[in-house]
Amino acid sequence: MRGLSRGDVNKDGSTPIYSQVEALILDMIETGKLSTGERAPSEREVATSLGISRMTARAAISKLVSDGYLHTVAGKGTFVSDPKLRQDLLELTSFTEDMLRRGLRPGARLLGLEVADQVPLKVRRTMGVSGDSELISVRRLRTADGRPMCLETSYLPRAKVPWLLEEDLQSGSLYRILESRSIELAKAEEHLEATLATEEESELLTVPAGSPALLIERITYTDRDEPIEYVKSLYRGDRYRFSAMLFKKRKKGGGS
Amino acid sequence: MRGLSRGDVNKDGSTPIYSQVEALILDMIETGKLSTGERAPSEREVATSLGISRMTARAAISKLVSDGYLHTVAGKGTFVSDPKLRQDLLELTSFTEDMLRRGLRPGARLLGLEVADQVPLKVRRTMGVSGDSELISVRRLRTADGRPMCLETSYLPRAKVPWLLEEDLQSGSLYRILESRSIELAKAEEHLEATLATEEESELLTVPAGSPALLIERITYTDRDEPIEYVKSLYRGDRYRFSAMLFKKRKKGGGS
DNA sequence: ACACTATACCGGTATAGACCGGTACAACCG
DNA sequence: CGGTTGTACCGGTCTATACCGGTATAGTGT
């Protein structure tokens, strides 16, 4: 009745068992076979029904717990967490994904795509290039439901994405393009501050000059820890809000 | 020579062994006995020198890895991570801690501490109270190196912190006070947006009226998932910057 | 009816051993 | 000398087992 049986995992060593189990349970959650608040199969249940050891089952479940999909109550069991709680976890997403998640239709108007000639020193240093002409700049007005949402200026290393100048950045997501070229994004450092829109910026964003705006600076890194993109995004203060979930870290002590 | 010996852990069950080991290694990192980039003792080394099982040692090390203190390279060993990479992780901190981390001297000027009579509906709903007079409001001007940094208005449930009205909020950290009363903070939901300082606000922050400001709304929860604090903080746009590290989530697939 | 107790679960912790593929290095061989 | 082959160590994965204290419930005794 549970849907987990020995055939659901292969033990040929090609994929770690715990990772297969993780995918199995995740699938049950996402297809609704397990719904919010419901008790997930216990560690012992998973272990015996799949014919694996309890520690292996536990490894899978622990991962799902730390990813926010499940939470445990000692003595009672493991339960499916509220999706609201896991969505607000901070995650690296593209503008496109971000808007879709907010229920808005993402769009873009290309303002410039060229080999950058005037790059701020800070950007050059961050991207690890010295001279000019080593970065490609992309300037786009991003829209949500057709209305201007933010003004985005990206810099990418020409050496790593020489084909970028030929791409259609009007419609698609830059991140999707990068991934289609096998550039895997892994993490990003993001800085947010409040500022005012300049005359030019406010015109593009269709807000009054001097309106509040959220300036987001992002440095995106590949899975090999190389910076692949530096972006400055200026969001309309009245339409955009950045959300995050913060967690308390360990307290010191307890030892000896 | 390594500094780990059997006497460093107690097995009386009062504190989990892996958690003691975690503290031991963390201590070695923070006291500089292990420095950035250096190889940490291997799982087997830790296990034998402390007289514990390898899996237990591994549990401790895994935790430190997921917390960003260490990183592993299969076949080579476990290494101490660059502190720069672990500091920017998103963490729930008080204003006091935040400022100290930025190398600034935190301060506060109490503007108001009272039973709140006019509480916005949204705040009441969030905090789960219905009527008036059920929340205590704290209004403080927070300073860094003596200069105004942000304007902070907190609401806390009177039922849970009735003693708050008698506390000294001039100097100390509110979070430290809560913890000294055994109220453990676990997580917080935070929303950031750009806005403009009103006349009154800009006066307190000593900036021109209409200056950009970062509005941060935070709902803090205890370890029992009850909301304990709702804060609206208005930071000076020219002096404050919010930083976060974003990570790419798993891709689906791999199973079966 | 009520309180207690036995039982059967649960997750949390810990053990000892095993095998894998990757890394580093020294010893050996051509 | 240079290349190969051991060998020792590394983290990654997996097994089987054990005991703890908490939770829930059914049954027992008053």
**Predicted local confidence at residue A152, as pLDDT:** 96
- The segments of chain A whose pLDDT lies below 70 read 1-2, 84-89, 249-256
Q: Among A156, A178, A173, A167, which residue's Cα sits nearest to residue A227?
A: A156
**Predicted local confidence at residue A250, as pLDDT:** 57
**Predicted local confidence at residue A225, as pLDDT:** 78
C-beta of residue B80 within 8 angstroms of C-beta of residue B29:
yes
C-beta of residue A220 within 8 angstroms of C-beta of residue A127:
no
**Predicted local confidence at residue B250, as pLDDT:** 58
Report the side by side order of strands in the sheet with A39-40. Answer: A39-40, A77-80, A70-73
HSE-CB of B178 using CA atoms within 13 angstroms? 20
Whether A90 sits inside 8 A of B246 (CB atoms) is: yes
Contacts of B27 in chain A (CB under 8 A): 255
Burial A70-90 (b: 16+ CB within 10 A, else e): beeeeeeebbbbeeebbeebb
Residue A36 CA, nucleotide D13 C1', distance (Å): 31
**Predicted local confidence at residue A255, as pLDDT:** 34
**Predicted local confidence at residue A253, as pLDDT:** 38
Please report, for residues A52, A66, A93, A183, the alpha-carbon distance to residue A174 in angstroms, rounded to integers and kept in the order given: 42, 30, 11, 11
Contacts of B193 in chain A (CB under 8 A): 214, 237, 240-242
pLDDT in tens, A164-222: 998 888 877 899 899 888 888 888 999 999 999 999 999 999 999 999 999 999 999 98
| Cβ of A52 near strand D (distance < 7 A) | yes
Q: Considering only CA atoms, name the residue closest to the C1' of nucleotide D21.
A: A75
Chain A nearest-CA distance from B252, in A, is 8
**Predicted local confidence at residue B254, as pLDDT:** 34
**A-B interface: how many C-beta pairs under 8 angstroms?**
155
Contacts of B190 in chain A (CB under 8 A): 243-246
Sign of CA dihedral B103, B92, B179, B20: negative
Q: Among A92, A101, A79, which residue's Cα sits nearest to residue A29?
A: A79
The amino acid present at B182, given as its one-letter code, is S
Whether B192 sits inside 8 A of A213 (CB atoms) is: no
The amino acid present at B53, given as its one-letter code, is S
**Residue B54, SS3?**
helix
Whether B245 sits inside 8 A of A187 (CB atoms) is: yes
CB atoms near residue A112 (< 10 Å): 11
Beta-carbon contacts of residue A246 (< 8 Å; ≥ 6 apart): B90, B91, B92, B93, B187, B188, B189, B190, B218
Whether A245 sits inside 8 A of B19 (CB atoms) is: no
Distance separating alpha carbons of residues A2 and A17, to the nearest angstrom: 19
B167: burial class by Cβ within 10 Å (0-12, 13-18, 19+)? middle
**Mean pLDDT taken over chain B:** 89
Distance separating alpha carbons of residues B215 and B232, to the nearest angstrom: 7
Out of A188, A194, A248, the one facing B92 most closely (by C-beta) is: A248
| Cβ of A19 near strand D (distance < 7 A) | yes
- The label of the residue with tokens 């259609």 reads A168
- The segments of chain B whose pLDDT lies below 70 read 1-2, 84-89, 249-256
Please report, for residues A109, A146, A238, the alpha-carbon distance to residue A206 in angstroms, rounded to integers and kept in the order given: 14, 12, 12
Residue B183 in tokens:
């109220």
C-beta of residue B135 within 8 angstroms of C-beta of residue B159:
no
Sign of CA dihedral B107, B110, B115, B117: negative
pLDDT in tens, A108-120: 999 999 999 889 9
**Residue A71, SS3?**
strand
